[in-house]
Chains A and B, each alone.
Chain A
């Protein structure tokens, strides 16, 4: 009966159950509070309805009662706060080793690129049981990546990366909505997330002909744009050696210390003079407007993939970077 009239969203991610649990708790709490207050009002309205010759009894108030009905709700509120915060903390912290999908939003479509190099539009294929981290940016206005079945949502902003992650648990096809108003066809900026069994997913992955992984195409670009002339792996270049910098702290010329993340790399490519690492001169050309969002994503994926080779300790700018695809 509820096939055409569902009242509860599909639950298809590892985190969705936690959110539903808090939601159900709050529903129960709210229902209890509503019933309690409405029952009091009904009882008072019946018992104390106006009668001839019966006067209201003037009551000043009661400090004890006021304190009681301030402290108890406050305690409950703080408990809800902690519960909600724990879930949020979990939602906002992508696990290590998650496979990465770069998302570029534009009026009015979603462009997605897997780290393996697969490109999709308005459709995202993921296997069951794998942690997937979304690294998202927008080409124009603010959008928002929303998959109700996963209970995740994150605004996608122009000019920076925002991230989200999920682990799908149930095969199926789920809505992908843009939930931040973005102009004429905001309601048409929808797509689907296809969750597949791992074997089927591998088949899908090898099906489309791609030109190699995202990091590999970033490596090619790194050569073409001439990045490699300054950013050498032997620390002799005019720019910093990029091997293994991802995730590490970096000391800047102006004394600040930042952690190298996707946003840092992005800013360094587009506006190099903003964050100049200590010991280097602001001589890097500005790439704002010269590279597309997809190319920036590829460059970022490439730089992240540069890890010191375990044997030599020297590392190298290899075009076959180490990529990890956790398999379960």
Chain B
């Protein structure tokens, strides 16, 4: 059956040119998206492997699987890889790169060569980081707290710092490209109020990338300078201030959480709309809540420092601001839920991820309320409660969003369908494995188990064993999609142009799209999510 299709296959971005050169020198946003997909998947599995080693070490209270120094390097590099080399580029650089021009009816991003440059910067940073790993690694935690990182650690801090400095620029360039593209390259009739919510959320993300990342870059450079040239910036014995580092670091690294979660919310809006066959409830509120999160997200950084030695009054200010930023996130959850009311809901793989996202993000968000409460934060700060909380947001939220989006747009990206039954199985495994891994950590945290502990008192063991058991299920859930996505590229059913019956310009072009996306520039005369005008596909999980 596939042979018939091959003869009929029209020219698209995948088959237009072949050969390694056509990929490495491409300026096509869709090909660059795939370059990013391959690179971040590579790093995801390295970071995941480190996570598994961490969980295996924590099976027993004694430090017995690896040395203490090795353990410290494992959690440091797990964090740095997952945040800087996987989560931050994940949805924006892969799905955003692929979809932003398609969704607004543009031929490409505004600066195609800068887009390619961004990927090369990522690769250069990645190679430096890999070199850092194989030559000894780094043990500062992903947070690089001073003066440990500048004056005490004897690992490859400078190399890791420079690598993350460079990968930051790749993130800045992606953000810059999106902002200009969304402002300047919308198709005729694609007004701001007709933009898919995916675009709104990516716009908000890009602003954070543009404004926040330079601060991280400068901060890491200062760490490198203090370490290499003995400057006294953060080290108190040389006249520096260690809390200054924490302020600068979190000024970026808190908004960075929104760089990771906003794009997942972007995916969520598209998937929920498609599989309820409805316009998203309260479009304006969902769009504006993304902007509100981007703005307020810059004003809450010191909630990471309630026990660090900041003044009582600044703690009060940052606590109340943290509660304000929780409101727009709550608005989004309520609106997605309300969208399901009187919808026509089907339980496809992307929708299962969307359900999972709402559940896990809600739990992650609610436990954020615990941490923003000053009195409670003092007890649970730097314990497994925090670990569980941010994994619920970043893995339960961002990774679920990323996987859901990858399934949703896979037919468009590859021109093939993945096996639906395997997809649903993997989604359920990820959901179950995730909860088993991270829910026990909330309890561990309130019990008082500190984070970054290589060995721990025996009363914490049962919960740690549960967590490790969960992580193996989670690992299977992550490997499965990689296997069947690769399988589907050759053996998957040929995808129609719009297999889900989804609204949005990206579904109006062929699957996979031609190099310049549309044969003719589309003219938009309809509002976003005009599901009443699009026939539902016959196949998608209709009740029989």
Interface flag for B453 (CB, 8 Å): yes
A65-B338, A157-B243, A185-B68 as given contacts; A81 in contact with B345, CB under 8 Å: no
Q: A69-B330, A146-B382 are in contact. Are A57 and B342 (CB under 8 A)?
A: yes
B446 touches A158 (CB 8 A): no
Contact yes or no, B453 A186, CB < 8 A: yes
Q: Report yes or no: A26 in contact with B532, Cβ–Cβ below 8 A.
A: no
B residues within 8 A CB of A254?
A: none
Per the bound structure, the CA–CA distance linking A271 and B243 in Å amounts to: 19
Is B346 a contact of A80 with CB atoms below 8 Å?
Answer: no
Q: Which of A59, A70, A151, A177 has a CB less than 8 Å from the CB of B450?
A: A177
Give the interface centre of B281, B379, B542 by most chain A CB atoms within 10 Å.
B379
CB of B455 closer than 8 Å to a CB of A: yes
Partner of B69, one of A146, A182, A184: A184
A window 59-91: CB within 8 A of B? 59-62, 65-66, 69-70, 73-74, 77-78, 80-81, 83-91
Q: Is there an interface contact between A153 and B378, defined as CB atoms closer than 8 Å?
A: yes
Asked whether B383 is an interface residue with its Cβ less than 8 Å from the other chain, the reply is: yes
Q: Which one, A18, A44, A59, A162, contacts B375 given CB within 8 A?
A: A18
**Complex: how many Å from CA A34 to CA B360?**
10
Q: Could you say which of B282, B337, B381 contacts A153, with CB atoms under 8 Å apart? A: B381
A295 CB to nearest B CB, Å: 16
- Report whether over half of chain A's contact residues are helix, strand or loop; otherwise say mixed: mixed
In the complex the two chains form, is A48's CB within 8 Å of B375's CB? no
In the assembled complex, the CB of A55 is this many whole angstroms from the nearest CB of chain B, namely 6
In this assembly, does A135 line the interface, its C-beta being within 8 Å of a C-beta of chain B?
no
Verify A77–B448 contact, CB threshold 8 A.
no
Say how far A61's CB is from chain B's closest CB, in angstroms.
4
List of A residues within 8 angstroms of B376 by Cβ:
19, 22-23, 26, 84, 87
Whether A6 touches B145, Cβ cut-off 8 Å, given contacts A26-B369, A85-B374, A87-B375, is no
- Is A9 a contact of B532 with CB atoms below 8 Å? no
Complex: A73 Cα to B362 Cα, angstroms: 13
Interface size on A, residues (CB 8 A): 87
Contact pick for B319, options A49, A81, A182, CB 8 Å: A81
A6–B447 Cα distance when bound, in Å, is 8
Judge whether B148 and A60 touch: CB under 8 Å: no
Pairwise interchain contact B342-A37, C-beta atoms closer than 8 A: no
Instruction: Report which of B72, B145, B279 forms a contact with A142, defined as CB distance below 8 A.
Output: B145
Are B343 and A44 in touch, CB under 8 angstroms?
A: yes
> Which chain A residues border B342 with CB–CB below 8 Å?
48, 56-57, 59
Q: Do A179 and B381 contact each other (CB < 8 Å), given the known contacts A80-B373, A84-B373, A155-B307?
A: yes
Complex-state Cα separation, A54 to B63, whole angstroms: 59
Whether the pair B237, A158 counts as a contact (CB closer than 8 A) is: yes
- Looking at the assembled complex, report how far the CB atom of A194 sits from the nearest CB atom of chain B, in whole angstroms: 16
Complex Cα gap A175–B344 (Å): 55
Where chain B touches its partner, the secondary structure class is helix
Which chain B residues lie closer than 8 Å to A148 at the CB level?
Answer: 379, 447-448
CB neighbors of A among B443-457 (8 A): 443, 446-448, 450-457
**How long is the Cα–Cα vector from A261 to B457 in the complex, in angstroms?**
37
Chain A nearest CB: distance from B418 CB in Å? Answer: 20
Contact B277 A55 (CB under 8 A): yes
Task: Give the residues in chain B near A160, CB-CB below 8 Å.
Answer: 236, 309
A59 and B278 form a contact (CB under 8 A): yes
Q: Which residues of A contact B279 (CB under 8 A)?
A: 58-60
* Contact status A153-B284, CB under 8 Å: no
Q: Across the two chains, which residue of chain A brings its CB closest to B450?
A: A179
**Pick from B147, B237, B382, B454: contact of A144, CB under 8 Å:** B382
Per the 8 Å Cβ criterion, residues 407-455 of B in contact with A are 443, 446-448, 450-455
Q: Which of A40, A57, A153 contacts B382 (CB 8 A)?
A: A153
A137 to chain B, nearest CB (A): 10
Q: Is A280 an interface residue when CB atoms closer than 8 A count as contact? A: no
Evaluate contact between B327 and A74: CB separation under 8 angstroms.
Answer: yes
In the complex, how many angstroms separate the beta carbon of A19 from the nearest chain B beta carbon?
5
A146 and B312 in contact (CB under 8 A), knowing A158-B237, A158-B242, A184-B69? no
Task: Tell me which residues across on chain B come within 8 A of A90, comparing CB atoms.
Answer: 375
- Indicate if B315 sits at the interface (CB-CB under 8 A): yes
Q: Are A41 and B340 in contact (CB under 8 A)?
A: yes
B153 at the A interface (CB under 8 A): yes
A248 lies within 8 A of chain B by Cβ: no
Per-residue A-contact encoding for B522-544, CB less than 8 Å = 1, 0 else: 00000000011000100011110
Is A154 a contact of B307 with CB atoms below 8 Å? yes
Q: Are B308 and A107 in contact (CB under 8 A)?
A: no
| Interface contact B276-A142, CB-CB below 8 Å | no
Most buried by B among A9, A141, A149, A151: A141
- C-alpha gap A49/B381 in the complex (Å): 42
Chain B 120-159 near chain A by CB (<8 Å), digits 1 or 0: 0000000000000000000101010101100111000000
A181–B323 CB distance below 8 A: no
Q: Which of A54, A81, A181 contacts B452 (CB 8 A)?
A: A181
A80 to B377, CA, bound (A): 12
Residue A180 interfacial (CB < 8 Å): yes
- Specify the chain B residue showing the minimal Cβ separation from A177: B450
Residues of B with C-beta under 8 A to A6: 447, 459
Say yes or no: A83-B373 contact (C-beta < 8 A), given A4-B462, A48-B341, A66-B285: yes
Q: Known contacts A81-B323, A87-B374; decide if A52 and B542 are in contact (CB<8 Å).
A: yes
Are A78 and B331 neighbours in the complex by a CB distance under 8 Å?
A: no
Say whether B319 contacts A48, CB under 8 Å. no
A169-183: CB near B (< 8 Å → 1, else 0) gives 000000101111111
Residue in chain B with minimal CB distance to A62: B282
Which of chain B's residues have a CB closer than 8 A to the CB of A204?
A: none
**Known contacts A9-B446, A26-B376; A180/B243 CB under 8 A:** no
Q: Which residues of B contact A86 (CB under 8 A)?
A: 375
Contact residues, B232-287 vs A (CB, 8 A): 236-237, 242-243, 276-279, 281-285
Bound form: Cα–Cα A110–B372 in Å: 29
Contact A8 B374 (CB under 8 A): no
User: Chain A residues near B446 (CB, 8 Å)?
Assistant: 8-9, 23
Can you list 30 A-B pairs with a CB-CB distance of less than 8 A? A6-B447, A18-B375, A19-B379, A23-B446, A30-B363, A34-B359, A41-B340, A44-B343, A48-B276, A49-B347, A49-B543, A51-B344, A56-B532, A57-B343, A58-B278, A61-B282, A81-B372, A84-B377, A89-B312, A107-B152, A140-B147, A149-B448, A157-B242, A158-B237, A160-B309, A175-B448, A175-B457, A177-B450, A181-B451, A187-B455
Q: Which 6 A-B pairs have the closest CB atoms?
A: A148-B448, A87-B375, A159-B236, A84-B373, A88-B374, A61-B282
Having A5-B459, A34-B362, A50-B346, one finds 10 other A-B pairs with CB under 8 Å, namely A7-B443, A38-B359, A41-B358, A45-B347, A48-B341, A66-B282, A157-B309, A158-B147, A159-B237, A175-B457
